Amino acid sequence: MSIFGLSLSLFLVLNALGNIPVFVGLLSKYAEKKQRRIIIRELLIALFILVLFNFFGDELLRWIGISQETVGIAGGTLLLLIALGMIFPHNSEHPETHTHEPLIVPLATPIVAGPGAISTVMVYSEHVSNSWLMLAIILIAWTPTFLILLASSHIKHFLGRRGLVACQKLGGMLISLIAVQMICTGAINLLKHAFPPAS
Q: What are the boundaries of each domain within the chain?
A: 3-194
pLDDT at 93: 47
User: For residues 164 and 154, what is the distance between their CA atoms, to the nearest angstrom?
Assistant: 12
The 3-class secondary structure across 85-96, one letter per residue, is: HHHCCCCCCCCC
pLDDT of residue 100: 73
- Nearest-angstrom CA–CA distance, 196 and 199: 9
What pLDDT does 121 receive?
Answer: 92
> Distance between CA atoms of 19 and 152, rounded to whole angstroms?
9
> Could you give the angle at the alpha carbon of 16 between the alpha carbons of 174 and 130, nearest 5°?
70
pLDDT in tens, the chain (199 residues): 688 999 999 999 898 887 887 788 778 788 889 999 999 999 999 999 999 999 998 788 778 888 777 877 887 787 788 778 878 877 654 444 455 777 888 889 878 888 788 888 988 988 887 889 999 999 999 999 999 999 988 887 787 878 777 877 877 787 788 788 878 988 898 888 878 876 5
According to the model, what pLDDT value does residue 139 have?
A: 97
Nearest alpha carbon to residue 103 among 32, 26, 33: 26
Per-residue pLDDT at 199: 57
Q: What is the per-residue pLDDT for 15?
A: 86
